[in-house]
Amino acid sequence: MNIERIISMIIRQVSRRFINRGIDAGIDMAARRRRGGQGGSDPSAPLTPEEQKRAAAAKEAAKRARQAARLTRRMR
């Protein structure tokens, strides 16, 4: 195996890990946004049961989105 191929393989693995972390961080940040844009609500106030259900659904959706992103990256 030629040294150029080894170096490019290592660079691809490292860049893939950084990209995956960036995508995961972005999805997590989007999922963590509570009370999307409601002006006067206090972000530190406890969540109502409805908001808790919505937050859990958003967390699940983020998890599925991460899995789909990983799957599509593997297929490439």
pTM over 0.75: no
Confidence of residue 39 (pLDDT cuts 50, 70, 90): very low
Mean pLDDT of the chain: 80
pLDDT in the model for residue 44: 63
DSSP track, 1-69: --HHHHHHHHHHHHHHHHHHHHHHHHHHHHHH--STT-SS--TTSPPPHHHHHHHHHHHHHHHHHHHHH
Query: What confidence tens digit (pLDDT) does each residue in 7-36 have?
Result: 999 999 999 999 989 888 887 777 676 555
What residue segments make up the domains of the chain, in order of their start?
3-35+49-75
